Structure 1
């Protein structure tokens, strides 16, 4: 049976939780030898101030497979707890979410060595609970992989969700701003 993973990219997004411990994860999944590998290696080799992409590990010296690059959306400089959440609970949640996706069959275990994931991960500098951070990141990682693999949401779902206008946890435009 042919793999659903062509040498191009699958892209997914998931937002889980609320407040300071919410997790927002974007993933790009692709095959080694394709454009995702180029982006993966380039990101790893070119960190910027405060944003140091790193390989996600299950435990030290045991990277998760498919190999997953953790790219921070917020510089890990928001204090000790923010750093522990970024390097610790969010990384562990991402690793477990990827493992969950393999166990669920969303990512084929027999192709794990041929696939790469880039995960852009939001960890709020005000994070205050490492266990909640882990749980939310685990579910966001699995949800983002699921969205990438299944191509969801579908355009009908997007239209339905947007019928009252766009909204997110940080901003919802008023009816006046929307021209309604």
Structure 2
């Protein structure tokens, strides 16, 4: 019987936390030998200045499964931001993937055949590595849950749109929304 992972690519998103330690993660999940794996390998082989995708590990030399590529959305600059990106955020994403496998969102028996790309926001103003870890863990898990469950649904999106677009950096006013 086909799993929800075949043959489509699953996409999920999650934003967790507030302020400088908030986490925003976009996830693409797919099978090996499919488009996600092609993108995974291409991204790994073609880093750019400030953006060096790397394999997410639970410990050095122990990559998580499904193999997960960490792609930083903000170039790691400054000692604390670098420690958060390569340390707490990476560890949080790794633990979020492990949590998803342990809880059955991602089937353990298929983990060797799945690939994940995680595009991860770590705010350059991050100031708490433990909070960064917790938020990144929750965001990775939430993005996987959203991908697997197909949420939000179109009715969810339409309901949210009634209040107007908003994110931590901008909220549209009624005047802007008027047609």
Using structure 2 for the length normalisation, give the TM-score: 0.98
Runs of 4+ in 1 over 6 A off after TM superposition: none
Q: Is the 1:20–1:126 Cα contact (8 Å) retained in structure 2?
A: yes
Structure 1 position 117 matched with structure 2 position 116: yes
CA deviation profile, 1:117-149 (whole Å, cap 9, x unmatched): 000000000000000000000000000000000
Three-state SS of the structure 2 residue aligned to 1:88 is helix
- CA distance in 2 between counterparts of 1:41 and 1:154 reads 30
Q: Which residue of 1 aligns with 2:13?
A: 13
Structure 1 position 86, deviation (Å): 0.2
Structure 1 position 173, deviation (Å): 1.4
Structure 1 position 35 matched with structure 2 position 35: yes
- CA distance in 1 between counterparts of 2:107 and 2:49 reads 35
- CA distance in 1 between counterparts of 2:109 and 2:62 reads 18
Q: Which residue of 2 aligns with 1:162?
A: 161
- CA distance in 1 between counterparts of 2:123 and 2:96 reads 19
- CA distance in 2 between counterparts of 1:99 and 1:169 reads 28
Three-state SS of the structure 2 residue aligned to 1:42 is helix
- CA distance in 2 between counterparts of 1:87 and 1:173 reads 34
Q: Which residue of 1 aligns with 2:106?
A: 107
Structure 1 position 175, deviation (Å): 1.1
- CA distance in 2 between counterparts of 1:20 and 1:71 reads 19
How many equivalent pairs are there? 179
- CA distance in 1 between counterparts of 2:172 and 2:40 reads 35
Q: Which residue of 2 aligns with 1:147?
A: 146
RMSD across aligned C-alpha pairs, in angstroms? 0.8
Structure 1 position 3 matched with structure 2 position 3: yes
Matches within 5 A, 1:130-145: 130-145=129-144
Q: Which residue of 1 aligns with 2:62?
A: 62
- CA distance in 1 between counterparts of 2:120 and 2:4 reads 25
**Structure 2: gaps (5+ residues):** none
Three-state SS of the structure 2 residue aligned to 1:33 is coil
Q: Which residue of 2 aligns with 1:97?
A: 96
